Structure 1
Amino acid sequence: MKDGSVKQPRVAFVCLQDAARPEIISGGPYRIREAFRELGCEVVDMFPIKPRIAWAFLPKKIAFRLLGLYYHWEWEPLFQRQVARYIERRLSAVRPDLVYVVQPQAASELRTDIPVVVGHDQTFIERLNYFPFEQRPPCNTYVGQAILKEGEVFRKASLIVYPSHRSIDMVRSAYKIDDARLAMIPWGGNLAVDPTASEVEQMIIDRGFGPFTLTFMGVDWPRKGGNIVLEAHRLLRERGIDVRLNIIGVQPPIPSDSAITVIPFLSKRKPADIERLSNILSRTHLLFVPSRVEAFGHVFAEAAAFGVPSVAQDVGGVATIIENGVSGILLPEHAGAEAFADAVGALFARQEDYRAMARTARGRYDSDLNWRAYCSSILSRVFDQLPV
């Protein structure tokens, strides 16, 4: 443009589900879409996508369910072709500069000369780690189709974006994708409230050092390591440390305890619930979610926004967010409750170390654990010079 200004690109935002709903895929698609808009991009919604052919696969799904197996048609070639034809028709009408695809299964059959960015929180191969915690194992048909078609997506995409080194390493090793089309860009948090740096500094000071508050957030109590949290909390109190525990998002099978507050559900859409969660996080010393399986962990980025260090196990992409002893406590996979109690208790004995860790956690949020940084990094990688 003659005045030297830069026009931000038009982004086609593709998602099989309704990305306008903040609860979809833990809120990731909703926040990514909003971040592109905040950066000045014109976002063209291409969601939800629900081809009628899906009904043809319903008997197959029912048959596998009766066998005690999981199956879904999202990786079926015929389903994916109809998804692709819908996207292609929309693309020809609006001619965007970039296509951002939330789920790889929406892009395997896509044919276009427009740059396509595929972004998700984990590969399908990593997703297989979740099935031991679910009701039914996947059928071989589903697994075979998914791995085959995911590889096709990666070989066609202009840029493949995942939020952890582990996922990027999986794409590189399992699918033989060259580094030029790979980008490790951390995801952000999905809270509606984004406190300022000065507000967070005051929160850190106001927390004091006694009683100490641990907060667990998660729906899946077994997979998120709820029993480890409960046992570590008990051990800390036995050692004479005044520790309180908030459990948010689930009603676990535990007896009533005056030192434990259980909040089974908080909505990200209700202002009262949003305010309540913000107040809890502002007073929390440590977020304690020692997941046994985790793709990335939005909740750790959300805690960092409030200057709350996280306590977790080194699984999945968690190490991308938490640096042990610097921005939180990250123990080896399969660490037990006693090891966590030792680490937490030691940190609570060092006030200045805790405050430094809390400030570092917030610093990570400001630098790269937010959605604006994520979308900005994508734009800078795709375009040497933004279209004018």
Structure 2
Amino acid sequence: MLAPVKVSEVSSSDPKHIDVPHTRVAFAMVGDVTNPGVASGTPYFALQHAARQGWSVRGLRLSTDGRNWARRRLLWNLRQKLASGASGGYQYSDEFLDQLWKLDPPMPGEDIINMFQLYPRRIVERHDGRLFFFVDQTLKQMFETYGLGLPDKVMHDAIGRERDQYQKATTVFTQSSYAARSVVEDYGIAPEKVQAVVCGANLDPDVLDAWEAQDHPPHDPGPLRLVFVGKDWQRKGLDRLIAGMEVARSQGAEIDLRVIGVAREDVPKTLAQVSGIEWIGFVDKRRETGRFVDLLATCDVGCLLSRAEAGGMSLREFCRLGLVTLAPDVGGSPEYVTHGSGHLVKPDAGPETIGTILLGLATDKTLLDRQRKIAWSERIQASWDLPIRLIGRRLAE
């Protein structure tokens, strides 16, 4: 079994030394890597920080927008339906990937870091640069835990190509040891070819620099301030959080909740009618990064209670801003929180368990202050600078 790799281990003996790849590097994903709205912004911010560290780097623009893609998907699903009686999973087919990568093909000799689990076969067979992966989870993990309902044949074919491509890749970077274990144990890849690198917070570095330069007075006394970030409120466990909050309140806790990414009208009335919830709705991190940072940083506890999760990017954002965290004990999420300032919750934990944690944080100020100090002192560990440095060191070899 692979031992976890902490981003704190990235620092070299010379803190000013940064290993820079000696070749051109392209980041790839299904979607336009230069768009921070793709894949929660993870490829975009990885690319941005690589450029800041001096890499010769670009992002491939593999956008699936437009009518042609909808038409191709429809025709592919129709053929699958006629052939096997089932459809779905077009994005995992080699036909889809081959067409996609024609939009912005890699340059000769260019190294590629693919943040999707598959390359087109053509790229694997013909490209003369090194091929890397940087994935949040394997397809086997995704298919088993996310319940996508895809045809067995589609999943089997995709996992088979994924296994073959991991074998041929120079290095498989994963965004958690949870994912790294699957690459080794489920796909048979040699451990020395696999490197777990927990990703950083998807927040604009210039905005973070400005925020760091401000004075940060202690939070005013008052209700415990929770914040939730996410669009898929059910998978992300907003209902579980609200139920736990109500339990804690019934026992005397003063708690407020700020919800970002979900509007009041998007949830059932039983949740929408709970008092003490500030429904922020969607915040565009491309245009309102400063506002987004302020909305998080003025809270005490960042909350994510997913029923299924590869990692949970909001957890890295909470940690980067020095928040105590309430996190799901699923997938790679435990690796995304700061040790000593995070509370892990099992996916089957009920409102009483969640409420007990919140009650303790709301009523034991010594506990909250101690964990806030830990979170604040360790916040830089959730920066993208450190994982990009580690990846750059491997690419420079």
Question: TM tier, shorter chain?
Answer: 0.7 to 0.9
Q: Equivalent residue for 2:36? A: 22
Query: In structure 1, which of residues 309, 313, 320 is the aligned counterpart of residue 335 of structure 2?
Result: 320
Q: Give the C-alpha shift of residue 85 in structure 1.
A: 7.4
Q: Equivalent residue for 1:137? A: 149
Q: Equivalent residue for 1:120? A: 135
Q: Structure 1 pair 365/117, CA: closer, same or farther in 2 (3 Å)? A: farther
SS in 1 for 2:107: helix
Q: Structure 1 pair 350/44, CA: closer, same or farther in 2 (3 Å)? A: same
The one-letter code sitting in structure 1 at the alignment partner of 2:388 is: C
Ranges in structure 2 where 5+ consecutive residues have no aligned partner: 1-16
Q: Give the C-alpha shift of residue 159 in structure 1.
A: 0.7
Quick check: 2:18–2:389 contact (8 Å CA) kept in 1? no
Q: Equivalent residue for 2:303? A: 288
Q: Equivalent residue for 1:246? A: 258
Q: Structure 1 pair 7/295, CA: closer, same or farther in 2 (3 Å)? A: closer
Quick check: 1:313–1:335 contact (8 Å CA) kept in 2? no
1:264 aligns with 2:276: no
Q: Equivalent residue for 2:189? A: 177
- Superposition pairs of residues 177-196 of structure 1, within 5 angstroms: 177-192=189-204, 193-194=207-208
Structure 2: distance between partners of 1:64 and 1:307: 49
Q: Equivalent residue for 1:311? A: 326
The one-letter code sitting in structure 1 at the alignment partner of 2:60 is: M
Q: Give the C-alpha shift of residue 71 in structure 1.
A: 1.5
Query: In structure 1, which of residues 275, 293, 298 is the aligned counterpart of residue 313 of structure 2?
Result: 298
Q: Greater shift after overlay, 348-357 or 170-179?
A: 348-357
Q: Give the C-alpha shift of residue 130 in structure 1.
A: 5.0
- Superposition pairs of residues 31-110 of structure 1, within 5 angstroms: 31-48=45-62, 58-62=74-78, 71-81=88-98, 90-92=106-108, 95-96=109-110, 98-106=111-119, 108-109=121-122, 110=124
Q: Give the C-alpha shift of residue 103 in structure 1.
A: 1.3
Q: Give the C-alpha shift of residue 108 in structure 1.
A: 4.6
Q: Give the C-alpha shift of residue 166 in structure 1.
A: 1.0
The one-letter code sitting in structure 1 at the alignment partner of 2:287 is: K
Aligned length: 368
TM-score by length of structure 2 reads 0.83
Q: Structure 1 pair 122/108, CA: closer, same or farther in 2 (3 Å)? A: farther
**Alignment RMSD, CA only?**
3.1
Q: Equivalent residue for 1:349? A: 363
Q: Structure 1 pair 53/160, CA: closer, same or farther in 2 (3 Å)? A: same
SS in 1 for 2:216: helix
Structure 1: distance between partners of 2:184 and 2:59: 30
1:277 aligns with 2:289: no
Quick check: 1:243–1:259 contact (8 Å CA) kept in 2? yes
Quick check: 2:174–2:196 contact (8 Å CA) kept in 1? yes
* Cα deviations by residue, 1:4-37 (Å, 9 ceiling, x for unpaired): 9987532122333111111100101111111110
The one-letter code sitting in structure 1 at the alignment partner of 2:180 is: I
Aligned-pair identity in percent equals 23
Query: In structure 2, which of residues 159, 162, 167 is the aligned counterpart of residue 150 of structure 1?
Result: 162
Q: Structure 1 pair 69/186, CA: closer, same or farther in 2 (3 Å)? A: farther
The one-letter code sitting in structure 1 at the alignment partner of 2:178 is: R
TM-score by length of structure 1 reads 0.84
The one-letter code sitting in structure 2 at the alignment partner of 1:376 is: R
